[in-house]
């Protein structure tokens, strides 16, 4: 009996510890495992969740979005955040304090995410890292057997998105992309009405994203090359990116505006409104067949080099055109335009239609019902338990960003790109194909 108990307890993570408890109950030897008197909270009574039945989490990237995500997970009584990680000591301390305020005790802090994911007790991780770290960290975590909640866009480059999805599938992990608009009712209702033909055949979809950034709103001294601050391990922050000299305009919130680390407003937001566009069109597992675009870029040599204005047209196999543009061209949000009207959705609960009567229609029991979630982080935790697919899984997130990645390449080259969505390859353009990925700085690779 003792050998059986020891064998079950040696499993790698809390999911397996939960299996152990179920096994113990089913074969009736709980009495010889537990003491005669057990605190009610330890057994999950009085509304508590037994420690052995909690999802144990580690959180990396403790800036603005990472802190917000961590705070969401701290709000669940069946989750225990035991570790935080950041290469900036100030952010790390802020993350530790966030956890301490919740639990009244310190959690572990890590400088290197690899040390955190090496822990056998951690079931799942939250990553809110700069885009250039998404693939390396996610693949490492999947290999280590961790389920992942990771920020959008899913990847820095198109090829990295494919690599992440391959790893999630290979290691049988649960993945949730931080495309939280899917868990808001107005976006789901709008997409569901479109999917059920309430506006007829959709011929055009408009995806409005932010313009900018405005360099003039940032202090000039932040663009001056200087020594990294003592609290920041800048070399580790760079990781797989090019070895470039430090200045404040490169790091933290500003990394989005340099193509070495992010994709500007277009790729930062395509995983939101572009994702919703695909949801309503039923294009979650496909992509465009042809993409062209134009954009305005800063002068060569600028630290912030991402497009400030852009307009992309992505054509799909059924003839539908998706227009992706900044707000100087089209309004922020997603608008599906069909031969019988249009539906528009945006943040703040916005849901409008060409005819208000469209929005009063209900979706019948025999029609298409889209995945319903009302809480994005909660959906992830529930799926970690059930091993069911989340509302924003890896492959769908990758497909959502595809028109953005291809559009950026088309903008940079100044020519139309043809794409095979089945093979996920650019057709007859070796230069464009070479821009689907990049060579990482040693020793990092995927």
* Domain edge (last residue) among 133, 151, 180: 180
Residue range 340-397, pLDDT digits in tens: 999 999 999 999 999 999 999 999 999 999 999 999 999 999 999 999 999 999 999 9
Which of 187, 46, 150 has the alpha carbon at shortest distance from 377?
Answer: 150
pLDDT at 79 over 90: yes
For residue 442, being part of any structural domain is answered with no
Q: What is the mean pLDDT of residues 113-138?
A: 98
pLDDT of residue 216: 82
Q: Are residues 213 and 89 in the same domain?
A: no
Q: Are residues 144 and 195 in the same domain?
A: no
Q: What is the mean pLDDT of residues 416-440?
A: 98
* Domain edge (last residue) among 156, 180, 204: 180
CA distances from 341 to 197, 201, 322, 332, 439 (A): 10, 9, 16, 19, 46
CATH of residue 47: 3.40.50.720
Q: Are residues 155 and 271 in the same domain?
A: no
Cβ neighbours around 182 below 10 Å, total: 24
Number of compact structural domains in the chain: 2
For residue 280, being part of any structural domain is answered with yes
For residue 381, being part of any structural domain is answered with no
Q: Are residues 216 and 174 in the same domain?
A: no
Tell me the residue range of the domain where 250 lies.
181-367+394-434
Q: Are residues 185 and 105 in the same domain?
A: no
pLDDT of residue 47: 62
Strands 341-346, 350-353: pairing is: antiparallel
pLDDT of residue 167: 98
Record the tokens describing residue 203, joined without a space.
Answer: 């011929």
Q: Are residues 417 and 276 in the same domain?
A: yes
Q: Are residues 150 and 202 in the same domain?
A: no
pLDDT at 34 over 50: no
Show Cβ contacts of residue 219 under 8 Å, excluding neighbours closer than 6 positions: none
Q: Are residues 270 and 294 in the same domain?
A: yes
Mean of all residue pLDDT scores within the chain: 91
pLDDT of residue 344: 98
pLDDT at 76 over 50: yes
CA angle 384, 387, 388 (to 5 degrees): 110
Q: Are residues 146 and 162 in the same domain?
A: yes
Residue labelled with tokens 């990553």: 127
Q: What is the mean pLDDT of residues 110-131?
A: 98
pLDDT at 154 over 60: yes
Residue range 308-354, pLDDT digits in tens: 999 999 999 999 999 999 999 999 999 999 999 999 999 999 999 99
pTM: 0.89
Lowest mean pLDDT among 10-14, 107-111, 286-290, 435-439: 10-14
């Amino acid at each position: 009996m003792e050998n059986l108990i020891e064998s079950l307890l040696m499993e790698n993570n809390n999911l397996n510890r939960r299996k152990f408890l179920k096994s113990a109950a089913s074969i009736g030897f709980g009495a010889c495992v537990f003491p005669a008197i057990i605190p009610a909270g330890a057994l999950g009574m009085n509304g508590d969740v037994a420690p052995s039945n909690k999802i144990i989490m580690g959180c990396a990237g403790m800036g603005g979005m990472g802190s917000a995500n961590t705070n969401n997970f701290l709000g669940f009584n069946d989750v225990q955040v035991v570790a935080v990680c950041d290469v900036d000591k100030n952010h790390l301390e802020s993350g530790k304090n966030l956890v301490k305020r919740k639990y009244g005790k310190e959690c572990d802090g890590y400088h290197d995410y690899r040390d955190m994911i090496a822990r056998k007790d951690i079931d799942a991780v939250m990553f809110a890292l700069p885009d250039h770290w998404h693939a390396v960290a996610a693949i490492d975590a999947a290999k280590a057997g961790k389920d992942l909640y990771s920020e959008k866009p899913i990847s820095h480059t198109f090829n990295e998105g494919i690599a992440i999805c391959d790893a999630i599938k290979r290691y049988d992990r649960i993945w949730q992309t931080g495309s939280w608009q899917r868990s808001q009712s107005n976006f789901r209702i709008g997409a569901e009405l479109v999917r059920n033909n309430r506006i007829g055949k959709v011929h055009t979809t408009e995806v409005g994203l932010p313009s900018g950034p405005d360099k003039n709103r940032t202090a000039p001294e932040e663009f001056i090359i200087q020594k990294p601050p003592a609290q920041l391990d800048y070399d580790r922050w760079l990781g797989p990116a090019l070895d470039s000299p430090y200045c404040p305009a490169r790091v933290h919130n500003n990394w989005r505006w340099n193509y070495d680390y992010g994709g500007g407003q277009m790729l930062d937001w395509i995983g939101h409104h572009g994702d919703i566009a695909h949801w309503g069109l039923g294009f979650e597992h496909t992509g465009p067949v042809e993409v062209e675009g134009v954009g305005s870029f800063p002068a060569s040599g600028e630290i912030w080099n991402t497009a400030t204005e852009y307009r992309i047209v992505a054509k799909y196999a059924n003839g539908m055109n998706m227009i992706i543009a900044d707000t100087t061209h089209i309004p922020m949000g997603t608008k599906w335009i069909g031969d019988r009207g249009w539906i528009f959705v945006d943040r703040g609960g916005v849901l409008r239609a060409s005819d208000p009567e469209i929005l009063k229609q209900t979706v019948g029991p025999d029609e298409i019902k889209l995945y319903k979630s009302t809480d994005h982080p909660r959906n992830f935790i529930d799926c970690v338990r059930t091993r069911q697919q989340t509302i924003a899984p890896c492959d769908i997130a990758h497909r959502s960003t595809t028109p953005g990645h291809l559009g950026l390449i088309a903008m940079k080259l100044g020519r139309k790109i043809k794409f095979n969505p089945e093979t996920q390859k650019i057709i007859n353009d070796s230069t464009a194909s070479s821009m689907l990925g990049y060579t990482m700085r040693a020793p990092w690779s995927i």
